Amino acid sequence: MPPKQLGWFGLGSMGLGMALNLQKYLDANGLPPLHYSNRSLSKGQALQDAGGIPKDDFESVVQDCDIIFTMISNDAVLATLLDKALTTSSTSSLAGKIFIDASTVHPDTSATSAGHLKAQGATFIAAPVFGASPVAAAGKLIFAMAGPSDAVAAVRPYILDVMGRSIIDMGADVRKSSLLKICGNILVISFMEVLSESHVFAEKTGLGTTLLQDFIANMFGPVLESYSERITSGAYAPPPDVAPGFAAALACKDMGHALGIAEDHGTTLPTVETALGRLRRARETAGEWIDSAAVYGTAREEAGLGFWSERCTRE
Q: Is 290 helix (H, G, I), strand (E, B) or coil?
A: coil
DSSP 276-315: HHHHHHHHHHH-SS-BGGGHHHHHHHHTTS-SS-TT-S--
State how far the Cα of 87 lies from the Cα of 29, in Å rounded to an integer.
33
Question: What are the residues whose beta carbons fall under 8 Å from the beta carbon of 234, sequence distance 6 or more?
Answer: 308, 309, 310, 311, 312, 313
Residues 6+ apart with CB under 8 A from 79: 109, 112, 113
Catalytic residue from among 176, 181, 204, 253: 181
Cβ count near 30 (within 10 Å): 7
The C-alpha R_g of the chain, in whole angstroms, comes to 20
The predicted model gives 212-225 an average pLDDT of 96
Percent of the chain residues topping a pLDDT of 70: 97
**CA–CA separation, 126 vs 143, rounded Å?**
9
- Residue 254 vs residue 244, higher pLDDT: 254
Confidence check: pLDDT of 312 > 90: no
pLDDT score of 239: 84
In the residue annotation, 140 being an active-site residue is answered as no
Domains and CATH numbers, the chain: 6-172 (3.40.50.720), 178-302 (1.10.1040.10)
On average, the pLDDT of the chain sits at 94
- CA 64 – CA 284 distance, rounded (Å): 43
**Could you tell me what percent of the chain has a pLDDT over 90?**
89
**From CA 189, how far away is CA 100, in angstroms rounded?**
25
The predicted model gives 8-32 an average pLDDT of: 97
SS3 5: coil
Give the CA-trace dihedral at 84, 89, 94, 98, to 10 degrees: 0
Residue 65 pLDDT grade (very low, low, confident, very high; cuts 50, 70, 90): very high
Is it the case that residue 267 has pLDDT exceeding 90? yes
